[in-house]
Chains A and B, each alone.
Chain A
Amino acid sequence: VLENQDLQDSIKPQKVEFHSLNFNTTLRWQPGWAREARDALYFVQYKVYGQSTWQNKDDCWGIRSRVCDLTRETSDIQEPYYGRVRAALAGVHSKWSLSCRFTPWRETMIGPPMVTVVNSNKSITVKLQAPRSPYERKKGSKITMTNYYDLLYQVFIINNLLDEQHRVLVYEGKDKVIKIQDLRPGVSYCVVAKTYVPMLDRSSAYSSRQCTVL
């Protein structure tokens, strides 16, 4: 059986990190190294850097899960935040484990656009929809990520006559509807897209592929 001090150290949460996609932000962590740590409960606090008091996150107070949603708490997207977690087991509390500083605007991952394709005779029309943030306008519609960044779309075409992995960039810009012309009838084409933020020089992952046969 572990002594109290050892138990404290051995259940202390590890790797406390923010994860954020399109401003959907969670704090995540790993259990302490003790075998018993798997049964621990976790307590989460957060604050804006520079504030002297930590706020309890009520929804993540004595939870078993190792994920805590802090989307609402980090909605002032240019502010730097901290989160911290401690574990409790058998009446023993660990020390707090601190996250790195996290600034949503700078660090959130931006997702790919949603892509739909419509084909006609020798062309494909591609419609692009920017990813949406979790934040709502007064009327209730979700604010898109284009509201927060100057985003560009990158559209790639995969001609299935060629190598499957061979993507050709056919468009980069802000337009939401683009037309790819002079394609060959009878051939199947797939389209994928990315978002690109020039200011941060960052691209999203690829969207899922949308395919069509002309």
Chain B
Amino acid sequence: MASLQTLSKSFSGWVFFCCCCCLPLLTNSLPLKGASPAHPDCRLRKINFQQPYIRNRTYTLAKTASASDKDTDNRLIGQQLFVNIRENNRCYLMKRVVEFIVKDVLLTEVKNQYPYVEEVAQFLASLTSELSSCKFSGKKDHIEKNLEQMKNKMEELGENGKTKAIGELDLLFDYMENACTDAPKKGGSKKKN
């Protein structure tokens, strides 16, 4: 119980913090829009991803968990999630993935095995709550199918499934960022050779 309380407390802290930071940004960027093809509610402000504190905590947590995951063949967060998914539905899909990971991985018994789990869970939960009115458009079949495949894969891996999911929080963070914000500077267009 105590941990649930701190969770909701710091969660509201996050929301408060984000709101304060973003108000000036929001007003600034109002005249800009119109170019984005995505559902207007399926957008996260960049500021969510510009806090090195939570980014580094997420990366550290992922690194810790992935060090004990020796299965290099199976991957949960990857391009296969986006098969048959139009670009404007990717943020919605990632929202669903994050909701699943928070509820079925991070807030289970594993949270005592790794550092920073609760902080990262709070952060991710704050993102999904910001996307509460983000809906898919068009057919939902592919989204559900891809989600199902990811969940099944995790199930199949048994105990290592959760370790793997935590080890991929860095990928989750990056995929969420790419799907829900205007692409950040990462030389993303750079392809092999």
Residues of A within 8 A of B (CB): 47, 49-52, 72, 75-78, 80, 82, 98, 100-101, 103, 105-106, 135, 143, 147-150, 198-201
* Residues on B with beta carbons closer than 8 Å to the beta carbon of A75: 190, 192-193
CA distance A149 to B55 in the complex (A): 15
13 pairs across A/B with beta carbons < 8 Å?
A50-B72, A50-B75, A51-B73, A52-B73, A72-B193, A75-B192, A76-B190, A147-B185, A148-B187, A198-B52, A199-B50, A200-B52, A200-B55
CA distance A143 to B187 in the complex (A): 10
A106 to B74, CA, bound (A): 21
Distance of A100 Cα from B59 Cα, bound (Å):
13
B188, CB-defined interface residue at 8 Å = yes
Contact partner of B50 (CB less than 8 A), chosen from A50, A51, A148, A198, is A198
The answer to whether the Cβ of B33 comes within 8 Å of any Cβ in the partner chain is no
Q: Scan residues 145-193 of chain B and give those whose CB is less than 8 A from a CB of chain A.
A: 167, 170-171, 174, 184-188, 190-193
B126 on the A face (CB < 8 A): no
A49–B72 CB distance below 8 A: yes
Binding site for A on B (CB under 8 A): 49-50, 52-53, 55-56, 59, 63, 66-67, 70, 72-75, 78, 167, 170-171, 174, 184-188, 190-193
Whether the Cβ atoms of A106 and B187 lie closer than 8 Å is no
For B73, what are the chain A residues with a Cβ–Cβ distance below 8 Å? Answer: 50-52
Do the beta carbons of A80 and B171 come within 8 Å of each other? yes
- What's the dominant secondary structure at chain A's contact region? loop
Which of the residues B56, B75, B190 comes within 8 Å of A77, measured between beta carbons? Answer: B190
The distance in angstroms between the C-alpha atoms of A60 and B154, with both chains bound, is 35
A74 to chain B, nearest CB (A): 10
Q: Are B66 and A77 in contact (CB under 8 A)?
A: no
Of B53, B59, B185, the contact of A150 (CB 8 Å cutoff) = B185
Inter-chain contact B170/A147, CB cutoff 8 Å: no
With a cutoff of 8 Å between Cβ atoms, the chain A residues found around residue B70 in the complex are 98
- Decide: A100 near B63, CB < 8 A? Known: A49-B72, A51-B73: yes
CA distance A199 to B174 in the complex (A): 12
Please indicate the chain B residues that have their CB under 8 angstroms from the CB of A148 in the complex.
185-187, 190
Query: How far apart are the CA atoms of A50 and B190 in the complex, in Å?
Result: 20
* Contact A77:B52 (CB < 8 A) given known A50-B75, A82-B72: no
Q: Let me know if B74 and A50 touch, CB within 8 A.
A: yes
Residues of A within 8 A of B190 (CB): 75-77, 135, 143, 148
Chain B residues contacting A101 (CB-CB under 8 Å) are: 63, 66, 167
Of all chain B residues, the one with the shortest Cβ separation from A145 is B187
| Chain A residues with CB under 8 A of B52 | 198-201
Contact A76 B56 (CB under 8 A): no
Smallest CB gap from B67: residue in A: A100
Q: How far is the CA of A182 from the CA of B78 in the complex (A)?
A: 55
- When distances are taken between beta carbons in the complex, the residues of chain B under 8 Å from A80 are 170-171
In whole angstroms, how far apart are the Cα atoms of A135 and B189 in the complex?
13
A106: B residues at CB distance < 8 A: 59, 170
Closest 5 CB pairs of A and B: A50-B75, A201-B52, A148-B187, A52-B73, A82-B72
A51 to B72, CA, bound (A): 8
CB contacts (< 8 Å) of B49 on chain A: these are 199
Query: Told that A47-B72, A198-B50 touch, could you supply 17 new A-B pairs with CB distance under 8 A?
Result: A49-B75, A49-B78, A50-B72, A51-B73, A72-B193, A75-B193, A76-B190, A78-B186, A101-B167, A105-B186, A105-B187, A106-B170, A148-B186, A148-B190, A150-B185, A199-B55, A201-B52
